[in-house]
Amino acid sequence: MIAQLSIATGFLLILIGLYGALIQRNILRMIVAFTVADTGVNIVIVAVGFMAGRTAPILDAAVPVADAAARIIDPLPQALVLTAIVIGLGTTALMLAYAFKLYEKRRTLDIDKFTDLRG
Amino acid sequence: MKPELMKRMVKGPDGVEFEVEPMRDYYCDAPPTVQHGAYIKIVEDFFNWARSQSLWILGFGTGCGAIEMRPLMTPRFDAYRYGIQWRPTPRQANLLVISGYLSVKTLKRAIRAYEQMQNPKYVVGLGSCTINGGMYWDSYNTIKCLDQYLPVDLYITGCMPRPEALLAGFEDLKKLIRAGQAEGANQYAERFDWYKANQKQVIHDWDMPDYNW
Amino acid sequence: MQFEWIKIPYALLTLFIVVNYGMLLGAFIQKIGARVGRRRGVPIWQNYADLVKNFGLRTSITHGVMFYLGPVFRLTGGIGLLLFVPTIYGSEMFSNLSFAGDLILALYFVFFGTLGMALGAGESGHPHAAIGISRGLSQVTAAELPLALAVFSVALQYQTLSITDIVSAQQGGVLHWTLFTNPLAVAAAMLSFLGSMMRPPFDVVLAPQEIPIGPPTEYHSSYLALMQTNRAIFPVAKIVVYMNLFFGGAASWPVFFLKVFLIYMVSVFVGVAFPRFRVEQSIRWFLVWAVPLGILSILLA
Amino acid sequence: MTSPLYIIAVALAAAFLLGLLREQWRSLAYPVTLAALAFMSWLSASWLWALASGSASPVDIYTAGTAPPFAINLRMALPEAVLTLLINLTGLFSALYLKSALLARGRRGMAVLLVAIMALSGIVLTRDIFNLFVFLELVVIATGGLVLLSDHAHALSAGFKYLVVSQVISILLLIGIIFAYHATGTLNIDGMAEAVPGLQNAGASQAFELAFFLMFIALVAELKPFPANGWALDIYEAAHPAFSAIFSAGAGTAALYAVDKLLLIGGPAWLDMATGVGIVTFVAGNLLALPQSNDRRLLGYSSVAQIGLILAVLGQRDILGEDTYFIAGGLLLSHAVAKAGLFWLSGLLAGRQLVDWADLRERPMPVFAFVTFAAMLSGLPPFPGFYAKWELVHHLAGSGRLVLLALVLFGALIEAGYLFRWFGYILKREPPGEADFCRVIFDKPHRVLPVMVAVAAGWALAFVWGELASSLLGRSNLLLALPLLFALSFLLLDWLPAWVKNSLAIAGLVAFFAATWTDYDALRMIFAIIFTLGGALTLLASYHVHGRRVGFYPAAMLMFAGMVMLIRADTSFDFFAAWELLTVGSYFLILRGKHSEPHALSYILFSLGGAFLIMAGFAIAAQGAPQFALASLAHVAAPFAPWVFLLLAIGFMTKTAAIGLHIWLPGAHAEAETDVSPMVSGILLKAGLYGLMVLLLAMGKQQLYGIELTHVLLWVAALTALLGNLMAVFQEDAKRLLAYSSIGQMGYALFGLALMNHLGWLMALVFVINHYIYKAMLFLAVGGVAKRTGTREMYRMGGLIRLMPLSFIAVLVGIIAVSGVPPLSGFGGRWVFYNAILASDYRLPMVVLFLAGPIAFLYLFRLIYTIFLGQLKDELRRVKEAPFWIVLPQMIYVALLIAFAVVPGLALHRVDTYLNQFFPEGGLSWAGGEITSNYGYWNPVAIMIIVGVIFCTVFAWLLFVNRRAQPVKQFNIVFSAERPFRPETTHFAWNFFAPYRKALGFLTQPLVTIFWTTVTDLLHTAGDLGRRLYNGNGQTYAFHFLAFVVIVFFLVGL
Amino acid sequence: MVKRFLALLLLAGLGGIFASLLAGYIPDAELNLTARYYADHAAGDLGAANIVTAIIVTYRGLDTLGEVTVLFLAASIVGLVLTHRQKHDPRPGQPARTRAPVGELLTTGTRFLVPLILLLGVYVFMNGHLTPGGGFQGGAIIASGILLLLLADPLKHFSHGLISAVESLAGLFYILLGLVGLVLAGGFLDNRILPAGELGALISAGAIPLIYSLIGLKVGAEFSSMLASLSETEEL
């Protein structure tokens, strides 16, 4: 039940993020919207790996090696989410740099002003 | 001298400039030559008979007599019976009829027409205007004596002779031809300079070669 | 049909007969025209006089080689057409040089003279000559079509292109002539015949007043003499083709003379009665009246 | 063999090493980058060599020492080796190209470039789906960085739009991956592929289908499909050309291979979705490229379209089977090499409009480069695209997917259209900009080298694909065909003076005929003689040109090679390859004329359209077999046979300019050079006739919906003859008059063929021979006159008979022959025509042809009168006779005509007996000089002698009587006793047949031209409407992408 | 207005896809194939207590390498973009612009907190294979320390040379370790080039701690270089 709930929140966040990205005319707001969508994706990735009644995949005193397979949740999505977060960060950093350069060139952040290459 | 006859420089398609002299380039400037008949008299007589039998008149009414020449071709007078026929171009005509007074302007055209006819060719003058100017004796723009300008073979009297007179005249002309005395063309060739001098004295805007082939 | 040397004198004999017949026929028809206008008309031998006079003229001019050769092409066309078609059916003597080619040769050799004449007149440099040629060629394209259709339907009907075979198929009585077995084709052919005879409905090419005698404006003396000889031969040669194809050919010379005269009179009668067509009118007239007849004759054959 | 992993490791090591170097050591950093890229290229090249030669087998590289499903593995097989080599080489040469930009940006730019190339190779190598995502993101970010290298004003906004849409793509891809993992339990592609069928309950497989859809649509979006590719086009336009080359060649290739891997998982259900998206992108991309004027944006559209086509090919893997990689590889490699080359070429130019490319004209090398790239893109022989398209079309036709076939050919035709239009601009248009500073940068070797390498790669690929085609699929390798090699050798000899090359060409043609004349049957012998000996004879006229005449001889020999191979071809593939070769060769020949650019374009479009119809016809006739012997056209299955006949007939008729497909001929033949017109008009039209003969011999009479197809052909031929002659009558330009006359004559020949009886075919052959001789002669004569008088307008000439007597003789003999007047050979054709129509059972078409006959008379007289007779104009008084080398062939043709008129048996006897085997009854008998058919007889020798004798006697008589004729000049005419004003006013030539136009002018309304112009205008307006979709706003492009996802989702109907 | 409506319509469509995905989602009762393998073998083969770290560093080492390159790429592009601006900044003669001094609380807080933050960061990426967290998280913590420094003294100029040196060296060593793994052990980035040691000890699980600390340093350096570049845009 928890998994479905969190996946649903993840999807909701993605939709909100995309809606923001499509409607907002200010570039910075678009970038923020995209980061919201990215977090939504990350939530979904982690939530997919969730198994009820199990614990984190760290083998220490609490979870001996022997019954690891029965007690831990699926570790792979967590590894993937780590990469996804970093990549999300990379693209956001790049978009910020672009936003800065665009502002520096046109002194405006309105996406509708940058419609030069057309047809 | 008209501009189109003036000497001018022309550039050819390959860019070479050269001079075009219309009077020399467009017209043949050879003088007429005396043409002797066939060597044997019998052949010449036969040709003369044929020439008299098929007398082709140039359809060029120069003066008031032209109106008299039209009925010749009608049923009433029917010149065809005598082998006489209208020809529209001087090339194919043998007889030039100068019907009545001849203004200088028409003389110029008559000379051109006469010179474009082929030897032997005959000229017939109608009425006294072609002999001594007639009632236009003191006119400033007609010529008084046709014979000075074109070699005339026959004159037909009458101010303007009726078709019957014309037919009779043509019969006389036929007798002359058959006799071989209608050599106006050769006469024109022999005394060509004299004729030309008279013509140039009267025609002032002379823009054609001496002999219009 | 093999070539023997004896054929040449025979051919020359035919040529001699036809030239004289042509001269006399021309004058005779002029006389009939005159009589219609209550005139006495030219003497019968007038054509001879004109010919001798033109040959006898002492001077002439030349505009160039092609001008000089124009009348030669014209006369060669006339003589060739006459000699390529057998004049008298059944007689070895008067089948002239028809071994060289069949009906198609005759049909196309007509253009040989026209082409040569056009080139000669073209070189004369006279605008009237050029206008005359332009009219003549335009008119001939439409005039030739019904004849071609008629020839095609006749060839289909008799399943052969050789003229002697066609004539032999029409022997035995008047009713066997193509006139009766294939009337539509003959009608189309006769309409096309009018077009090619330079008679008033279709003589805009010569148009004596408008462009003095059209193409031969610049021709005179011996050139004109050659053309006059051709003027005598060519119509007869053309009529020989029509006669052989549609009117049962001629078994002897009197029949030949009669038939040629009667066919010639067809164009004279029409010529005397009708005013002159402009070029596009004549083209439309042929395409509207003559060609459907031809097509019908082909479809029915 | 070193492990392929080093490609990634070395690249990253070099990137990080660059980080260490200080800013000042910039000049050291650049060689390091080049060294790294060179090593990567060497590595993939060595793997390719090993795999291709079989010394190594495909290998899986494990990382982290554990088996694939649990760790990431890379695979290095033949496709990967080829693609990584392509990517690395493009990267290396682009880096070389970017020398100044990289040195200006410093080491960071080089590091980004290295990582970009590594990421692209990674996408190709990796077998893990998430790893694919990581490399994809690396490419996205690297593209974002590298776009900044360009100094284009809008590079920034283009980069930003790219990042926006990539964000959306990565979101969808991530969700797709995680749910796919959840459904199948593994991230490895091969693992997933096995797991998918095993999904027991419907719920799991339904969930997987959804997840796969998201993954698949995200990766397809990377291929820039039609509605959602605005963002990519801006990158193409704004980025530095070298980066655009990488983006188009590298990124396109990698993304395509990724989609191919994904299709392994998806299985057959997703194939038709891929085909649908691909074909829509292909057609729409080409359509929108039509109205483009910016060169890089046009290249962008073209590469989007090509990648769409390859996606469609991948989508057809179910019917293509093992040929998929041959076809997709051929298309992909030629696209990648050509696009990279074109982008590098665009870097050499300052102007961005298509017309600015006219500066390339200064050097032959860039023009040759452009030609190679354009030929590779439009799939002309001998390049790989040609083999690939042939296989693709055959497989499609084999499995009955005709709509897809039509769309592929339609798109390819449009693409050829705008490419050759562009090539026409290069050769013929004047660059608008000021010409003072040199806008073409030839001095920088590091920019010219990549273009040359691309050209070399193009030709190498042509050879490799030829070898592949001959070994794998049994097709002949075009580059090994002797005639083609001979033609291409002239490319190397272009520095020789013209007369040397001309002699070589003539010797080559004659030698080829001497070597091969034994293995032609009678019918092909005639065509062989016309193509080789006739060609050699026409080439004589090319001696009149001095200097080097660059580009003429390769084009001419290509055309002749094509024609010679056409006759010798006996399989459909060789026939079609030869057909396209001669089309291309003749196109380059025609394009040499001064004002021939628009006409050459319409020629190539009609010819290629016809060629595609022929290919479609062959494909349908092949019924799935890759190629078939031409003779087996006879037993094509019943339902298809009429359609095959129709397609092939229309295809061949575009070449013989039948009515409706004729509008290219007048312009092309009139505007071509003096010695090209006879070649193109006299010889090339016969190729179309030869094609029709092969078709009619094999398929004979066909019925389609009850209509007799040969009957329709008969009517078309008759109309062509009539309208062709009629339009010729009203022409003012001499060469156009002859061109329209060619249409008429071809109508006659086509009529003969369509009669389908013995004499009909004989007539066609007589026309083939006649038409070659007199048309070549007339074109040479008119060309010589036009060269001397400087104009082709007939009313400007006149009275040239005295100044150019030899030309006059040639034209006089020519028109006598064309008009069919007895003594000469034209009459032979007419006589056979009459016998043929008597034998045939049709009646009405003959009527139209009877009218067409005399009309020929009109324009022939007009030609000779207005040029040679009438009044001589002032400026032409000093005109000299035509050059010797133009007059010599004419005199040879006059002799040939007279010989053919007197002794037709020489050429026709053998072919008449040969025709007996196809049409037994109705033959001719050749007794002595006389030729008899079963209707009439014809004795050419007798006619010639009789006419000659009569002519000479009459001429002698006139000479005797008229000895002393006085030669006069042009104004000694009876001008009703007046003086002619000026030569211009007395020469009656303009609108010569005015009354005729009043009577029959309505038949020459340019209906066909109007029809074809409206078709092209419609295409352009469609293109313009489509372009309005891209309004330049990044958000709108995101909208487009989401809309694309949702629409495809509903279409797929999950 | 139309734009909003269209956006909603499209997102409704996308929402539909997500909804059907959600509906089809059944959480696994048992670990699937790969997860079970990791659960059983991670401790035994690699000797790493934190299975996620084992996956990140070894099993899916290439992903991590890719990730690190993404960051390196982002950092260098941002550097490329912004320093590009600075190079042609034509104001050499003017004195460095002074800013109003930041609050007392922040300066003293920074001076006190930054060493602690850095220590925590190092601890996190040193014990990546034992406790939750690892290179990325440690790097992020270090970067937050640097950020705090920047906030305290905005005009503080970090030497880009040093940062990029650390970054590149770490990257190079990472690649070298990977290659050593390829040469010595089973494959690229295999951690068994060093003894596995006993589970739970600091020096255990082969090369994982070494690789992860290198990643930590690199990530920290890249974040700080990005932050530094972004901060230099302040003067505008």
Q: Do A58 and E49 touch (CB under 8 A)?
A: yes
Minimum distance, in Å, between the CA of residue B19 and any CA atom of chain C: 22
Integer Cα distance of C160 and D254 in angstroms: 76
Share of chain C above pLDDT 70, in %: 98
Segment C193-204 shows an average pLDDT of: 86
Q: Do E49 and A14 touch (CB under 8 A)?
A: no
Which of the pair, E86 or E51, is modelled with greater confidence? E51
Asked if pLDDT for residue D201 goes beyond 70, the answer is no
Asked if pLDDT for residue E32 goes beyond 90, the answer is no
| Cβ-proximal residues to E83 (8 Å cutoff; 6+ apart), any chain | E160, E229, E232
Integer Cα distance of D144 and D235 in angstroms: 10
Q: pTM of the prediction? A: 0.91
- pLDDT value of residue E98: 65
Minimum distance, in Å, between the CA of residue D190 and any CA atom of chain A: 18
Give the tens place of pLDDT for each residue, B135-182: 899 999 899 999 999 999 999 998 889 999 999 999 999 999 999 898
Q: Name which of B17-26, D174-183, D467-476 the model is least confident about.
A: D467-476
Integer Cα distance of A89 and A93 in angstroms: 6
Q: What is the mean pLDDT of chain D?
A: 89
Segment A35-47 shows an average pLDDT of: 93
pLDDT band at E234 (very low <50, low <70, confident <90, very high): low
Asked if pLDDT for residue D45 goes beyond 90, the answer is yes
Asked if pLDDT for residue D202 goes beyond 80, the answer is no
Give the burial class of D198: count Cβ atoms within 10 A of its Cβ; 0-12 exposed, 13-18 middle, 19 or more buried.
exposed
Q: Do C73 and D951 touch (CB under 8 A)?
A: yes
Q: Do A91 and D159 touch (CB under 8 A)?
A: no
Asked if pLDDT for residue B2 goes beyond 80, the answer is yes
Q: Residues of C with CB below 8 A from D942's CB?
A: 3, 97, 99-101
Torsion-angle region of B83 (φ positive above 0: left; ψ -120 to 50: alpha; else: beta): left
Which of C8, C109, C119 is the best residue to mutate to test the D interface, defined by the most D CB atoms within 10 Å of its own CB? C119
Asked if pLDDT for residue E95 goes beyond 70, the answer is no
- pLDDT value of residue C208: 65
Q: Do residues D483 and D560 lie in contact, with contact meaning Cβ atoms separated by under 8 Å?
A: yes
Asked if pLDDT for residue E89 goes beyond 60, the answer is no
Q: Residues of B with CB below 8 A from C212's CB?
A: 88-89
Q: Name which of C94-108, D123-137, D655-669 the model is least confident about.
A: C94-108
Q: Tell me, yes or no, whether E38 lies in a domain.
A: no
Minimum distance, in Å, between the CA of residue A108 and any CA atom of chain E: 15
Asked if pLDDT for residue D203 goes beyond 50, the answer is yes
The separation between the first and the last C-alpha atoms of chain D, rounded to the nearest angstrom, is: 46
- pLDDT value of residue D216: 92
- Helix, strand, coil distribution of chain E in percent, nearest 5: 70, 0, 30
Minimum Cα–Cα distance from B212: chain C residue: C61
pLDDT band at E86 (very low <50, low <70, confident <90, very high): very low
Q: Do D203 and E24 touch (CB under 8 A)?
A: yes
Q: Tell me, yes or no, whether E37 lies in a domain.
A: no
Cis before B22 (ω within 30): no
> Which tokens in the block code for residue B22?
């219309």
Q: Do residues D999 and C279 lie in contact, with contact meaning Cβ atoms separated by under 8 Å?
A: yes
- pLDDT value of residue D731: 92
Asked if pLDDT for residue D1054 goes beyond 70, the answer is no
ipTM: 0.87
Judged by a CB distance cut-off of 8 A, whether residue A1 touches chain E is no
Cα radius of gyration (chain B): 19
Segment D797-804 shows an average pLDDT of: 91
Segment D419-447 shows an average pLDDT of: 76
Q: Do E63 and D207 touch (CB under 8 A)?
A: no
Asked if pLDDT for residue E160 goes beyond 60, the answer is yes
Asked if pLDDT for residue D349 goes beyond 90, the answer is no
State which residues form the domain around E156.
Answer: 58-86+102-236
Give the tens place of pLDDT for each residue, B63-103: 888 898 889 888 888 899 899 988 888 999 999 999 989 99
Judged by a CB distance cut-off of 8 A, whether residue A5 touches chain E is no
Backbone angles phi, psi at D978, to 5 degrees: -120, 180
Number of domains in chain B: 1
Asked if pLDDT for residue D436 goes beyond 60, the answer is no
Residue D570 is classified by DSSP as -
Give the tens place of pLDDT for each residue, D260-319: 999 888 878 889 899 999 999 999 999 999 999 999 999 999 999 999 999 999 999 888
Q: Tell me, yes or no, whether A65 lies in a domain.
A: no
Asked if pLDDT for residue D810 goes beyond 60, the answer is yes
Asked if pLDDT for residue D801 goes beyond 70, the answer is yes
Q: Do E187 and D69 touch (CB under 8 A)?
A: no
pLDDT band at D28 (very low <50, low <70, confident <90, very high): confident
Asked if pLDDT for residue D224 goes beyond 70, the answer is yes
Cα D907–Cα D910–Cα D913 angle in degrees, nearest 5: 135
Give the tens place of pLDDT for each residue, D529-585: 999 999 999 999 999 998 888 889 999 999 999 999 999 988 899 999 999 999 999
Asked if pLDDT for residue E93 goes beyond 60, the answer is no
Minimum Cα–Cα distance from D877: chain B residue: B12
Judged by a CB distance cut-off of 8 A, whether residue D140 touches chain A is yes
Minimum Cα–Cα distance from E25: chain D residue: D207
Q: Do chains C and E touch (3 or more CB pairs under 8 A)?
A: no
Share of chain E above pLDDT 70, in %: 92
Residue B80: CATH number of its domain? 3.40.50.12280
Judged by a CB distance cut-off of 8 A, whether residue C131 touches chain D is yes
Query: Which of D830, D993, D999 is closest, CB to CB, to C284?
Result: D999
Give the tens place of pLDDT for each residue, C210-225: 666 778 888 999 999 9
- pLDDT value of residue D130: 92
List all chains that touch chain B, counting a touch as 3 or more CB pairs closer than 8 Å.
C, D
Minimum distance, in Å, between the CA of residue B202 and any CA atom of chain C: 28
Judged by a CB distance cut-off of 8 A, whether residue C135 touches chain D is yes
pLDDT band at E236 (very low <50, low <70, confident <90, very high): very low
Give the tens place of pLDDT for each residue, D99-120: 888 888 888 888 899 999 999 9
Chain A / chain D CB contacts < 8 angstroms? 114
Backbone angles phi, psi at D644, to 5 degrees: -60, -45
Q: Tell me, yes or no, whether E39 lies in a domain.
A: no
The separation between the first and the last C-alpha atoms of chain B, rounded to the nearest angstrom, is: 21
- pLDDT value of residue D934: 86
Q: Tell me, yes or no, whether A84 lies in a domain.
A: yes
State which residues form the domain around B75.
Answer: 41-202
Minimum distance, in Å, between the CA of residue B140 and any CA atom of chain C: 33
Which of the pair, D456 or E54, is modelled with greater confidence? D456
Minimum Cα–Cα distance from A113: chain D residue: D1033
Asked if pLDDT for residue D435 goes beyond 60, the answer is no
State which residues form the domain around A35.
Answer: 2-51+74-113
Q: Do D9 and E18 touch (CB under 8 A)?
A: no
Judged by a CB distance cut-off of 8 A, whether residue D935 touches chain C is yes
Integer Cα distance of A91 and A97 in angstroms: 10
Number of domains in chain E: 1
> Which tokens in the block code for residue D863?
């030609």
Q: Name which of C5-9, C168-172, D919-923, D1003-1007 the model is least confident about.
A: D919-923
- pLDDT value of residue C190: 93
Q: What is the domain partition of chain D in residue ranges?
A: 206-431+441-480+1009-1054, 481-923
**Closest listed residue to residue D220, CA positions, set D259, D264, D262:** D259
Give the tens place of pLDDT for each residue, C5-44: 888 899 999 999 999 999 999 999 989 988 888 888 899 9
- pLDDT value of residue D283: 94
Q: Strand C60-62 to strand D965-967: parallel, antiparallel, or no bridges (unpaired)? A: parallel
Segment A5-28 shows an average pLDDT of: 92
Asked if pLDDT for residue E85 goes beyond 50, the answer is no
Q: Tell me, yes or no, whether E152 lies in a domain.
A: yes
Q: According to the 3-state scheme, what is the secondary structure of D604-655?
A: HHHHHHHHHHHHHHHHHHHCCCCCCEHHHHHHCCCCCHHHHHHHHHHHHHHH
Judged by a CB distance cut-off of 8 A, whether residue E87 touches chain A is no
Asked if pLDDT for residue D896 goes beyond 60, the answer is yes
Q: Do B12 and D967 touch (CB under 8 A)?
A: no
Backbone angles phi, psi at D533, to 5 degrees: -65, -45
pLDDT band at D625 (very low <50, low <70, confident <90, very high): confident
Number of domains in chain A: 1
- pLDDT value of residue E90: 47
Cα D1033–Cα D1038–Cα D1043 angle in degrees, nearest 5: 125
Q: Name which of C200-209, D371-380, D640-649, D937-946 the model is least confident about.
A: C200-209
Q: Tell me, yes or no, whether A90 lies in a domain.
A: yes
CB count in 10 Å sphere of residue D595: 10
Query: Which of D791, D966, D974 is closest, CB to CB, to B28?
Result: D966
Which of C72, C144, C162, C291 is the best residue to mutate to test the D interface, defined by the most D CB atoms within 10 Å of its own CB? C72
pLDDT band at A61 (very low <50, low <70, confident <90, very high): confident
- pLDDT value of residue D507: 94
